[in-house]
Amino acid sequence: MTRTIGIFAAVTLALLAAGCQRETGPDPLKLTGKMFVFNYRLAYAVYTITLQKTEAVPEGSVVIATFENPVGGAPFTLTRKLFPRLDRVVLESPDLTCVKKEKPYAVTIEVKGPAGETLQKLETTVTSDIDQDILPAKALVEGPAYDKNPEVFIGGKAPKYFETAKCPI
């Protein structure tokens, strides 16, 4: 009798554990937006990717984004923890230089479970409709109060023309 109860308990625990694991099926994240953001005041550009959570992911899961470097060389990698209560994920790359108009740049997004297993992999491209040389060469403001940058506004006056960003390649 106790052996039957022990077997029943073991089978019940195994079924409960299997119910907690993610089944293969719908992907946990859906790509909802991708673009370059150009901040004219601070003279920088970044990739911005937005994702919507469509399925629950195990506690301790992360999303890893790899962004093509417009200058060339090693891509930028960003890792963010996925929180169970947050339905939206926003990924922003480090500051970029040399973004070119109408050139597709590769972005790869991987969702990894707590043990490092891949739950989902997305590959996409992001294309800008303007060149980065539209931005000023130096930030127009600085500090938390957005004070005029004294390197740009010499003597507190705006220059006749702002120097624009240049691509080193």
Determine the Cα–Cα distance for residues 39 and 93; give it in Å rounded to an integer.
Answer: 13
- Domain region containing 108: 25-132
35 lies in a domain?
yes
83 lies in a domain?
yes
33 lies in a domain?
yes
Structurally, the chain folds into a number of domains equal to 1
Q: What is the pLDDT of residues 53-92, one digit of tens each?
A: 999 999 999 999 999 999 999 999 999 999 988 999 999 9
Which residue in this structure is represented by tokens 């907690």? 20
pTM: 0.79
161 lies in a domain?
no
CATH of the domain at 79: 2.60.40.10
15 lies in a domain?
no
Q: What is the pLDDT of residues 11-58, one digit of tens each?
A: 444 444 444 444 455 789 999 999 999 999 999 999 999 999 999 999
31 lies in a domain?
yes
- 29-61 as b/e: b if 16+ CB within 10 A: beeeebebebeeebbbbbbebebebeeebbeeb
167 lies in a domain?
no
94 lies in a domain?
yes
